[in-house]
Structure formats: structure tokens, C-alpha cells
Structure 1
């Protein structure tokens, strides 16, 4: 609709449809192209990272292979040096605190440091103070290995490893004390024995990798303890005891880790270079921390998004510019036909439709002309039939008024006859019942039994008339339902039946003054069909917005086949005590009028011969 409330032109809808079809196609193509370009950029960045990490692994493996070339050539010298250490231990009486480690170090050479490791795996004494107090229990695999060496009797050589922080190469070896209480360790500074040519030169490795991958902003190498090794001067001093927990986790788990910092725009990769050798106590494996910046990739992706967004906007504007003139061109024949149809609609039925180009428009123009001719003929016939219809309508109204008057007169006559029946016949029945009761009291034997049967039939006739009166009152009741005291109604009806037990509580329901008829019929049936020994109980149960009333009796019960039709009109039971078939129908009609439902069940489930329970529901009255 337009702002003025009128319908939009077909050309506008056509242009909108063309735009709505074109824009999603343009957007989808742009999205697919962007996703492909984005994937290529990310794949290229990922491939470059993988190549960088492979280069790191290969470089560290080559460095480790170089260290192995001269590793075993130092074993004999270090084994000879242990003789002086063991002799000093014996001189001190097996007390490392009494050993002169400085003197022994001068004796075996200043390029060697001495370490005394106690049974707990802690370096208790050493000539290299930075390692004093180092606890090897924090490295379970290494602690188990040196414990085996301490409990043994032989010399064990270790690998040449790079010392943390300074990057100095050291060759370590171990020998247990004679009493196996301590493990002695020697650390030989390899630079003193011409091992400079085997220096790992991690700084050079870092510079080469930084040139290989422009996104790489930092490289740090850690040992299995999580300590950084061979730092560069540009990084400043580093505390050797500082531990990198992530490096420790990677070393223990034997698998890499990736950390992403979206705020800083960095991606940090921890990779494990496995250089372990089961023949040596030390694990020379390295954990390499590679820090990449995501800024270049993010900038390229942002530029890619911007370019695709501009392309989509430009293509969308172009599509809109094309859709408008195209829609006007397509809808021109339609506009001409609409103008002609409007003239015909204003009453000019002789106006002819202009023939437009296109087969479909020719057919449409011809059809509209035929329709206009047919419309003129129908208007003529309609005017002729309108007069006939008005005459018929006048006659029909007269007939309806006559039939309504006759129906009202019939209803008044029926009401009069019903009043006569319920009043006069009931009076006659009352007199007959009185005289018949006298006969029952005065006669004896067979005549008394016949008089009692006559009395029963007269009472039944009186009940039928009473039921008919109740039905009439229920049919004619037009008053609205109101609040009724259900407890008071039950107590009033139960007072006339000695066999009834009722322990209820006050509750108000929605009903009218005919509600006592429901209780009267149900209690009367229970007492009538239950026999002289019957017990009757009335119970009330509140279920949310409903009240369930149950009338239980210990009578002969109702067969399952009869329960479904029990409340139908004129549905009578079988046997000598069967009623006239109106009482339960009246109950159902009244309960339904009150918005409830009524049904019959066995007092004991599955055993109909042990009595019946009739339940019906009523709507609870709202709180005042």
C-alpha cells in the first residue's frame, strides 16, 4: 500500500521482485568468493607456519647430531676425575659437608663443577651456586634414573647439554658414593675442550627463522625443566630458575600446544623437538615457543572484506538502476489495459480494450471485451429479476409472520396442556395414592399384595410427572447460573435418607436452584436399587477449579455393558426394580448445563457386583 492507502503499481512490485532476486544472488556470489579467498589466505599462512616449525625441528635435530659427534670422547676424562671426588668423600668420613669441593675442583680442573645429590634428589652441595637446591623430584623420569645410578656401583656418562640462560655447553657424568647415600655429578664446561664448533647458536637460528616467516615475532627455546636457554642480548637478563609452565606441560604430555590472544593479535605455538635417548639419563628434548602476529593476516582479511562489500554495494546499485526501467518496459501493456478496464468499470461498457503487443496481452484484451459484453447482458437480466425478487421477499415476510404466530399459539397450547397434566393428574395421583395406602393397611393376603402393586404404580406415575416438570423447568430456565452452597444442598437431601453417610466441608459451586434434583435422583436410585441393607456414602473432592461429587453404594452394581448408555433419555435398567428412564437423563442434562460431566464406575475396580459409584463434576465458584 502507498502512503495514501492505495495499492502500489504492478511495475513497483515487479521492480522489487527483480531486485529481491538479484541482490541475494550478488550477495551469495560475493560470500562464496570471499570464503574462497579467505580460505586461500588462511591456508597459505598455515602452510608457512608448518614449514617454519619443520625448519625448527630439523635445525635442532642437526645441532643435536653435532653434539653427539664428540660426546663420548669426554667420558674417560670425567671418569678419572671422579677418583678425586670419591677420595675426598672418604677423607670427610662420608659427610659431604666436610668435603673441600673447591680444592677438589682445582685438582680436577676449574672447567668442571661438582654436584652432590642426596637421596631425595636435591643438589645439597655444589661448586656451581645457581644449581644449589635444585630438586630433581619435580622431574619424575630423571629422578628415577639418577636413583637407579645412585643405587648402582658404576660410572654413568650423560649427554652434552646447553646450560639454561647462558647457553653454555656442559658434559655431565654421575657416580654413586660407596655407601649409596649420595650421587656425585660432574659438569664439564665444553668450551674449554674445543667444543665451540658445536655451539648450538640458537640466536642465529632465531634470526634465520625470523627472515623465513615475516609473521614470526619471537622464538624462545626451553629445556625439559621449562627453563629458557641461550637467550639473546636483546632480550635482557633472564632468571635461570624461571619456569615456563606451558613448556613443562608440553614436555610432559609430549604434544604441542596452541595459544591464541585475540586482544594482542598473537598466536603462540609450542612444539616439542624430541631428542631423547634411552641410553642417557638426561632428556635433551627442546620445547620451542614460536610467537606469530596475526596482524598482517587480519589486515589482508579486512581489506578483502572491504573490497567485497564495495563490490556488493556497487552491483546492488547497478541492479536497482537496471530493474526500474526494465519493469516499466514490461508493465506498459498492463498499464494500458488497466486504464481501459477502469473506463469500463466507471460505466462505459462500450469502450474497447487496446490491443497490445504479445500473444498473452491480445488474449487478455479479447477476454476483457467478451467479459464487458457479458456484464451488460447480466446487468439487464439482474434488473429484471430484481423486481421479481422484491415481490417474492414481501410474500415471504408475510408467510414468516403467519408461521411465527401459529407456532407461538401452539407453544401456549402445549404449555397449557402440560400444566393441566402436571397439576390435575398429579392431584388425582395424590388422592389415589392416599386411598390405595388405606387399602394396603386394611387388606391382607393376596389382596393386600395387589393393593401394594397398585400403590407402587401410582407412585411411579407421580415420579414421572415430577420428572416431566423438572425437565420443563430445566428447558425453560433462562436465568444465569449463580453461586450455590453444595455442602448445604447435600446435607438437606441426605437428611431424608437414613442410609446416607456424608462428612463434607463447605464449598460453593456454579449451579442454580435445580441442583437438589441431581442429588435427589442419585440418592433415591442408590437407596431404591441397593436394597434394605445398602450403605450410601457421599464424598466431595476438590481438583483445581473443579469439585468432584461421588455417591457410592454397596448395592448389586451396574454391569459394564450398561455404564456407557446409563444417562441417555428413557434408558431403563433390567429387572423388577428398573426405573422409568428419566432420572439419570435429568441428572446428565443439569450437570452438563452447569459445565460439568457425569459418569458411573465400580465401587471396587473390576468388581461391579460390589456396588456402584456415580461421580459428577461441578465448577468451583470463584472466591468472593
Structure 2
């Protein structure tokens, strides 16, 4: 399936590459189509499941609302009876001297036919006296909205009937009504047991509703209905007795927040929906709203989706295998002309230029074969011309090599002659300058007046000439030196150079620090200190500072001379750069150029600043950096 190329690396055959491309296109396409189909089916099943859930939830909300509407109609038929029941209640309160403890509540209950329980609620919202022991001590302050309502009734002067409510424990229906005591110290309450009043036909048949909904939605696993306190109501016989003290915190929270909630238990395979059926009525103290808990079993849907997913995966794998089997023969048939052309080209490449390219079907392959044939013919002609010109090229190459050798020898001789002349000039002119400087110094000391001034100018020019020769010598050494940078003691170099200027006040407080440089480093300080002495004036002071910054050392040479104007700073270190002002008469200007060349060779940089920032006339500061010894760059 592979061949070795001219570079030695293995190259796949075109047929293999084509087959792989076909597989890489077909297999992902099949997978994508299968995934999209599964996604559509999955979304459809989930949408159907959600629609069935919505219908189930709408049905139970409508059923509970209709049941409550029927029960509300029954409520109004009992209002007059409840209001008449307060006549003996109030009479007994007056007979007892408005002392509830002295009241005979059992006698009043018997007088009311034994169907109504009596409750006396104090100012704290607690049932202080009652003929119904389970509710004795019940604190309505724990139910803020209800507490606020009954406190309003206690302070009022009217009879108020409440809704028929379902007892959580027994499932019995009770009708409640309220009347404030004449002194407003208590709120009287009557509770009618509706069992004997023919209310069975109004009893909310939640059990039947559960059975109907579970038949409508097979995924519905259970239904529970809670009151506004989070207590379950109307339980079935199969669920056993219900403890009214048991509160479902989720149902209670749903009632308080007035927002439905969905809880999912992936481990159990269930989804639980809590739905608030708002039946509140501002005309009644009690809120008969219901919270419905619907538990759906998601296992059947998940199982069906898993089966469909597996089916799609199996189908996609089978289709991919079929595509791979088809790709092999198709790729071989498509690449057959290419293989034939490749075989023919290999024979031509082996040296058989007379071999003919086989003609295949297809316009493109025919044009390719004709093009290869024309290329082979042109190649034969080029080979003939190349062989004819090889001899000419060989002769020219030999002549060129000889010419290069001659030019190289001439350049070497010219370089040696230039070096010799430069050495002679530096040596002889420097000796002549030294002698001339000595005699001129004698003339300066011996002459007076105008002649002495002329002798001093001559001495200055001779010293400038000597400095120029010294700069040229240093520049030559710097350019020809191939010495590697080594570790040098910067402190020792500075102290040695400062000692060469005894007439100048030099401030330096340094410490040993090793830098990378060579034996030309002293020339930098010699040039900088010499310039500061020469152009700084008779009372110039020089300060040398050395500061360490990480892997670099920054050196500053500051003087109190006339400074350097801003217009000159940019070109100060250029070759033959001269200045006005303090640099007037500075000769060829090689000193600072040499400093820049050496500092850059050492891997640093050099620049000029004002000694006092923003005040060029108060002195100059030449600063440069050096690398510390031992750092890698």
C-alpha cells in the first residue's frame, strides 16, 4: 500500500489515498445522517411525552377547579345556619360574665345539635378553648396570612363564613365561620361537620381523578394533593392513614412562592412535577388552594430512546462497512489510468526515453499523456543541448576559479600593504608628534605674550593630532581583535583610569563587580574621562556611578561642565561626529564613536543624558550598560 520516495520517506499510493478519502467522506456522512435522524425521532418522542404531560396537568387543574366551584356553591347554603349557631354561643358568653373559662361549651354544642364544634381564639391567635380536643392550643400565628385575617375579624363587628375545608387526617369536610366577641377580646369560631348534611355529593373525588389520569397517561406513576400547609389530603385506602403533622416542605414552598417546580431523579428514573392550583378568594379567611404532586416514570421513555440509539448505531456501522467495501473496487477502477501513467513515467525516468505513454479513456487522461509525451521529447532535446554545453561550462569554471584565486591574492597583498602603511603612520607620526609636543611645551614655557599664545595653540593642535592617531590605533585594534569576551573586574578598571587624571576631582564609590569585556574596556573610560576633563572647564568635577540591574550593570560618567545641547545628542556617537559648545575643536570625533563600537561589541548600549534632568547647561551624563559575567544571552 506504500512506496518509497526519492527522499527515503514512505508515500501512500494514490489509490489508497483515494479510498481513504472516500471512506473519510462517506462514514462521517452516514454517521451525521444517522445522528440527525435519531435526534428528530428523539425530539418527537420527547415532544409527545411533554404534550401528554401538559394535557394531564391541565386536566387535573381543571378538575380541581370544577370540584372547588361545586363545593363553593354548597358553602353558601350553610352560611345562614352557621350565623344562627352564634346566637346561643354569644348568649353563653354573656351568661358566663364574658369569662370563657366559665362557659359550658359542651352544653352549647348539644344545643346546636351536636354537629358543630366550638372554638375560642385569643388575641395571640391561639385556640384557647374548644370542644374539639385535637385543635386545642393550635397557634395560627404560624400561618401569617391566616393570622392577619382572623385578627381583622376579631376587631370587626360582622359575621364571616369560611370555606368548606378537608381535614388532613380523616378526609372529612368541615364548614367554619367566625364572629368577634362583643368586647373584641376573642374571636369565636364554629366548625360544622358536613358529613351529616348530605355533602357527600360535593365531596371532591380525588381518588377517582387519580385513577382516570393514570389511565390517560401510562407514564404517570403517582398523584398526591396537598393543601396550602403542605399536608396531604384525600389519601386512598392503599396509602394508609395520614399524619396531619407531617408537612411536605416542597409543597409548602410552592404555595409560598406561587411557582411550579420540576424535580428529576435520574437514579430512580422519575420526574416529579409540583403544580399550584390557585383557589384563593379574598372574601374568605382560609385559602383552599391545592398543590398537586405528579410523579412520572421516565424509565419507559429512556429505555425506548436507548433502543433507538442502539438501532441507529448498528445501522450506521453496517452502512459504513458497506461503504468501505464499495470504496476499494471503485478507487482501483478510478486510479487504473493513473497507475498505468505512473508505470510508463517510471520506465522513462529509468532512461528509456523512447517508451511510449499508453493512451487511456477520458479527455483529462488523454491530455495528460500527450503532455507527458511532449515533455519527454523536449527532455531529449534538452539533454542533447546540455551535453553540448557541459564542456564549455567546464572550461569557464576552471578559468573562473583561477581568476578568483588571483583576485584573492591581490586583496591579501593590498590588505597587508595597507596594514603596513597604517603601522608606519601610527608609529612614525606618533613619534614625531611626541617630539613636537615636547619642544612646543618648552616654547610655551619660554615665550611670553602673543608668541606664547601662538605656541599654546600649536601645542593644542599637536595634542589633537596625537589623540587622533591614538583613536585610529584603538579603532584598528577593536576591528582586528578576535579575542573572546572574558570576565573583567569593572571596579579595578575604573580606579586605574581615574588615577590617570590626577588634576581632576573624580568622585567614585564602587565595589567589585565582574563584567564581560576585553582588554579594550579601559579605552572607554579613558575617552569619557578625557572628554569630561577637556571640555568641562577648569573647575569640573566628575562622578562615576555603577548600579546593578539584574543581569546588567549600568555605568554613568557625569560632569559639571557646560553640558550637551539636545540638538547634538542624537548624533553624538556617530562617526566623526563633532559638537558645538563643549565639543568645539574635538578633532575627528573618534573617541565617542569608539566608545559606542566597544560597548555594542560587549552586548550593551550607550546614550547621553543631562546630569540634571531637563537642564542641559548644568552638565552631561554619559551612561552605558555592560553584561554581568556568568549570564547567558
Selected match of 1:569 from 565, 575, 587:
575
Of 550-559 and 287-296, the range deviating more from structure 2:
550-559
Distance in structure 2 (CA, Å) of the matches to 1:85 and 1:490 = 118
The alignment status of 1:440 with 2:444, answered yes or no, reads yes
| 2:595 corresponds to | 587
The alignment status of 1:529 with 2:553, answered yes or no, reads no
| 1:112 corresponds to | 116
Distance in structure 2 (CA, Å) of the matches to 1:143 and 1:79 = 21
The alignment status of 1:58 with 2:66, answered yes or no, reads no
The alignment status of 1:602 with 2:615, answered yes or no, reads no
In structure 2, list runs of 5 or more residues that go unmatched: none
Distance in structure 2 (CA, Å) of the matches to 1:579 and 1:130 = 120
Count of residues in Structure 1 that have an aligned counterpart in Structure 2: 624
Are 1:166 and 1:231, in contact at CA under 8 Å, matched by a contact in 2? no
Change in Cα spacing, 1:512 to 1:133, as seen in structure 2 (3 Å) is: farther
Distance in structure 2 (CA, Å) of the matches to 1:317 and 1:387 = 63
The alignment status of 1:229 with 2:233, answered yes or no, reads yes
| 2:517 corresponds to | 511
Per the alignment, in what secondary structure is the counterpart of residue 12 of structure 2? coil
Change in Cα spacing, 1:568 to 1:225, as seen in structure 2 (3 Å) is: same
Q: How far 1:315 sits from its partner (Å)?
A: 1.8
Selected match of 2:215 from 197, 211, 216:
211
Change in Cα spacing, 1:178 to 1:588, as seen in structure 2 (3 Å) is: same
Q: How far 1:610 sits from its partner (Å)?
A: 3.7
Per the alignment, in what secondary structure is the counterpart of residue 7 of structure 1? strand
Per the alignment, in what secondary structure is the counterpart of residue 367 of structure 2? helix
Selected match of 1:285 from 278, 283, 289:
289
Give the alignment of 1:421-500 within 5 angstroms: 421-497=425-501, 498-500=504-506
Are 1:38 and 1:301, in contact at CA under 8 Å, matched by a contact in 2? yes
Distance in structure 2 (CA, Å) of the matches to 1:85 and 1:492 = 123
Per the alignment, in what secondary structure is the counterpart of residue 232 of structure 2? coil
Change in Cα spacing, 1:117 to 1:535, as seen in structure 2 (3 Å) is: farther
Change in Cα spacing, 1:140 to 1:383, as seen in structure 2 (3 Å) is: same
| 1:194 corresponds to | 198
| 2:558 corresponds to | 552
Give the alignment of 1:91-170 within 5 angstroms: 96=100, 99-170=103-174
Q: How far 1:3 sits from its partner (Å)?
A: 8.7
The alignment status of 1:35 with 2:43, answered yes or no, reads no
Are 2:168 and 2:242, in contact at CA under 8 Å, matched by a contact in 1? no
Per the alignment, in what secondary structure is the counterpart of residue 191 of structure 2? strand
Q: How far 1:504 sits from its partner (Å)?
A: 3.6
Q: How far 1:541 sits from its partner (Å)?
A: 3.2
| 1:540 corresponds to | 546
In structure 1, list runs of 5 or more residues that go unmatched: none
| 2:83 corresponds to | 79
TM-score by length of 2: 0.92
The alignment status of 1:611 with 2:619, answered yes or no, reads yes
Per the alignment, in what secondary structure is the counterpart of residue 611 of structure 1? strand
Per the alignment, in what secondary structure is the counterpart of residue 341 of structure 2? helix
Distance in structure 2 (CA, Å) of the matches to 1:505 and 1:83 = 113
1:575-619 per-residue CA deviation (whole Å, 9 max, x = no partner) reads 434442111111111111111222223344444334333222222
Distance in structure 2 (CA, Å) of the matches to 1:118 and 1:427 = 129
Q: How far 1:276 sits from its partner (Å)?
A: 0.8
Distance in structure 2 (CA, Å) of the matches to 1:478 and 1:449 = 45
TM-score by length of 1: 0.94
Q: How far 1:365 sits from its partner (Å)?
A: 1.4
What RMSD over aligned residues (CA atoms) do the two structures have, in Å? 2.4
Change in Cα spacing, 1:131 to 1:365, as seen in structure 2 (3 Å) is: same
Are 2:174 and 2:193, in contact at CA under 8 Å, matched by a contact in 1? yes
Per the alignment, in what secondary structure is the counterpart of residue 575 of structure 2? coil
